Structure 1
Amino acid sequence: MATKSKHRGLGRGLDALIQGGATRPAGAAKPAAKGAPAPSRRPAPPAPAAPPAEGAVHRIPLSRIQRGPWQPRHHFAEEALRELADSIREKGVLEPVWLRPNGDGYELIAGERRFRASQMAGREEIPAFLHKVSELEAREMALIENLQRADLDLIEEAEGYRDLMREAGLTQEEVSKRIGKARATVANALRLLDLPEGIKRALAEGALTAGHAKVLLGAEASRRELLAARVMAQGLSVRALEKLVAGLSEPDPRKKRGEPKENGKSSDKSTRHLKFLADRMQQELGTKVMLSPARVGADGRREMGRIVIEYFDNEDLSRLLETLNLGDLG
């Protein structure tokens, strides 16, 4: 079984997670040594059935395969499955699935679409590679294989990263090295899980894009669902959503809230500009940003302006430092 120290990144391929080749079937006879006496003619007792060897393609009954609990993919388009099932009826399964032995049966590591389509096609067996790996290694292999195929939606990918971190006690940095992604990519994906369920569902279904999600994360939490609904209803682009969040396409929002406007056109313009800058910084940094203007107080003293950037934890702080090209300070 592969040990934890054997793990390497996606850039080196999935072979880094797969050990061994074909093994000698149990009970198979070894070659006779030179000069050894001829074997007895007495018939030998039947050898026990050999376990399937790793590194070879095996025909495994579908009835002996169960879905692994670590599978990162949850959504399958029915029409695409039917098309694959039609292809399997005509040509068979061209690429073996990946399984790991589990008791008297097998657990699926990779190839769930082929497995489901084979069931739809009425097949009884499926070609498979067998890998003797731990549950954690199987989870990692399943995630990497799906990422290589770009089979996961945005939320499935984020949940895969989260599950790796939970099960193996990994940091975002360690996950990024295992799967060959930038740490910022992993951090930004994980932040999608903080969005409301309705928005996550829209991302999984493709109704919203990663660009939309980035803008929504920079918006006030109380406005996110309304903004997402407007994007889907009106088919707004990411740029249009940016303008909407920044308040460029709406009248002064203080009129709707009944708040008094500040005296003076210059002051009002300055306030709107600061809000625009804060919103743009939120979109770029993916977190809440507050800007307070520099001004002269009633006593004639000058008060300095402030920029406040919020972050969730040390991992998020590291992400922000990298975004600001200050990663060496983390």
Structure 2
Amino acid sequence: MDTMFIIMLVVIVLALAFDFINGFHDTANAIATSVSTRALKPRTAILMAAVMNFLGALMFTGVAKTIGGKVADPTKLDNGLEILIATLLAAIIWNLVTWWFGIPSSSSHALIGALAGAVYVGGGHDKVNWGGFSTIIEGLLISPLIAFALGYIVMTVLKWIFASKSPHTVNKGFRTMQILTAALQSFTHGTNDAQKAMGIITFALVTAKYQSTMDVPLWVKISAATAMALGTSIGGWKIIKTMGTKIFKIEPINGFAADMSAASVIFSATLTNLPVSSTHAITSAILGVGSAKRFSAVKWGVAGTIVVSWVITIPISAVLSGLIFTVLF
């Protein structure tokens, strides 16, 4: 068994581990509102999210090609597999740290930042595709703003439509609707987030010359989809608590509005092959919905902590991956 093959196996295992962690780290966001309003029991919500994530992960590959080819060209890296090991270790470490503290940070930001940092240190400044990197960053930065605005608009419209109805009647109806939006949110999460691990594994396959294009093999799709579904089945209770209770008191109509807004943003990004952060989308949508409900109802101190984690994730992941590469290789 040659060294290249062993390193390749290490990359695949780390990529699937990242996907598994992404499952319980980010999927908590998709079901947080439905669990907090008791539209779904936690165990039922997690099982449904796992199934919908698996289905979503199998259906698209455009984001995988973007992740695997826009930050760097795998055919131009002599030490591409080592770079990917440093990338994945950094992203996994950051995900576990933020999960431990219950901070809904972005797995997408962690992975993109770590990849750029490892390529910069391991391959040099000229090996980073700064144009492609900038395009991805723009998508990651703009999508939360769109999700916030959409959440605000959807909630404002719903308030106007149901202004004459009793809150009890309205929330009873939307509690049922939340089951559908939680499923949709989980599905869209799978269509975008699971592809990131697919992109990394395909990047590795091209680097190791096991294939020449960024087309995602079927076994990679199934492996990544399964890893994310298994991770989802574990749940992310700390993040569910932050998302569902600590930003503002979410009622079923608010959860419906937030989930629909976030799912719309994520799926639109998937259709245009852009990796976005499901964490940022749902958090921003919740903030938008809360602002429309009553601006003072939002706990802006908690929101500020979340935003700070967004800002620091990319640079910290980049520095961390660069350090890991330097130490290991």
Both structures adopt the same fold (TM-score exceeding 0.5): no
Question: Which one has a larger percent strand, Structure 1 or Structure 2?
Answer: 1
Q: Which has the higher contact order (CA 8 A, sep 6+)?
A: 2
TM-score computed with the length of structure 1 as normaliser: 0.22
Question: Which one has a larger percent helix, Structure 1 or Structure 2?
Answer: 2
